[in-house]
Structure formats: C-alpha cells, structure tokens
C-alpha cells in the first residue's frame, strides 16, 4: 500500500492531519496540473489559488471518502472543473452573455481553456450529459482537459490500458462535438 493510499485511508477514518499530509505530498503535482489547466486562460485564477480552492473544497466536504491516489486525482480534477466553471459563470454574469462562439473539439481541448468564455461553459454542460451516459468517458475528459494529464497518466490512474483510454477519449470527443453542434447550430 502506498503512503498516499494509507494517508487517504487515515483521513477517511477521521484523521484530519492525514488529508493535509496528502495535499502537502502532492502539492507540486497539483500545482503543475493547475498551471497546465490555466495556461493562457487569463482570468483571476492562478495555479496557486486553484490548488488552494481544490484543497478547501475537498477538505470542506465532510462526506467525501477518497480511497486511493487515482480517486484523489479524479476528485481534484472534478473540483478544478467546478472551480473554473464557477469563475467563468461569475465573469459571464458580469458581462451578461458575452457572445457565444461555435466550438470545435480537436486533439488538444486546452484551446477552449484559452478562449475563457462561454465555450467552456458549453463544454461543461455537454460533459454533464456525457456523465449520465458514460461516467468513465466523462472522467477521461476531466482528467485530460481539466487536470491536463497525459493519456498514460490517465490510464494509470483509471487502471486501464493506454489504448482504452485513447478510445474513450475519441468517443467522448465525438459525443461532445455532437452535443456542442446541437447547442451552437
């Protein structure tokens, strides 16, 4: 059993310092992911602020039971997604709509992150629909797009092959593209 998994189990048993220790151990990796996620996005969020917000959300969620490293990163990616979407909604509320653009999904979805406008909100809404149909594909997109992980890292975290991860990514992209075409067309 890895040190992280042991700490997460202790945190699940009520040890408040254990989750702090997990964040301390994984902080450099979380900051790297946050930096990749926010690259060129502009806005008020910095990688440090994003990681600290993730920490607050995960620590503040008393009903959360994280089982292992993969589950931790899945929860962190989901929290990053929600934080980025909340920030975007605040920005759009100020701008009152800000004009929507047509969205195309390519191999590197991070271009949408750089757009930093309603495109990201449309992707998030399409991902909610995807999650109802195929939770694993949604998780692959969250880890790739919102956490900035490479395919091999995602495969390792999800415990599946690299080929399966890429196949799930392709299917998710096709689904999201169709969903976005319906909303923009």
pLDDT at 170: 93
6, 45 Cβ separation under 8 angstroms: no
pLDDT at 118: 54
Query: 14 to each of 17, 57, 167, how far by Cα in Å?
Result: 9, 17, 39
- Single out the residue of 182, 179, 76 nearest to residue 124, CA to CA: 179
Evaluated on CA atoms 104, 105, 107, 112, the torsion sign reads: positive
- pLDDT per residue of the chain (185 residues) written in tens, 0 to 9: 588 888 888 887 878 788 889 889 999 989 988 887 776 666 677 888 889 888 888 877 766 778 888 888 888 888 888 888 888 777 776 655 444 554 555 544 544 444 444 577 788 888 899 999 999 999 999 888 877 788 998 999 899 999 999 999 999 999 988 888 877 65
pLDDT at 37: 76
pLDDT at 78: 87
Query: 129 to each of 115, 117, 163, 178, how far by Cα in Å?
Result: 22, 20, 24, 12
């Amino acid at each position: 059993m890895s040190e992280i998994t042991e700490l997460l189990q202790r945190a699940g048993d009520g040890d408040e310092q254990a989750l702090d220790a997990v964040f301390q151990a994984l902080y450099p990796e979380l900051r790297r992911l946050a930096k990749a996620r926010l690259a060129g996005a502009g806005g008020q969020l910095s990688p440090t602020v994003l990681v600290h917000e993730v920490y607050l959300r995960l620590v503040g969620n008393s009903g959360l039971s994280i089982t292992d490293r993969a589950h931790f990163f899945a929860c962190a990616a989901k929290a990053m997604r929600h934080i980025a979407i909340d920030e975007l909604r605040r920005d759009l509320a100020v701008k009152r709509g800000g004009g929507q653009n047509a969205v195309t999904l390519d191999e590197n979805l991070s271009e949408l992150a750089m757009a930093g406008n309603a495109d990201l909100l449309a992707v998030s809404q399409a991902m909610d629909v995807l999650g109802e149909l195929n939770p694993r594909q949604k998780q692959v997109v969250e880890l790739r797009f919102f956490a900035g992980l490479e395919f091999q890292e995602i495969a390792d975290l999800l415990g599946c092959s690299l080929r399966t991860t890429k196949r799930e990514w392709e299917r998710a992209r096709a689904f999201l593209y169709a969903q976005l075409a319906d909303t923009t067309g």
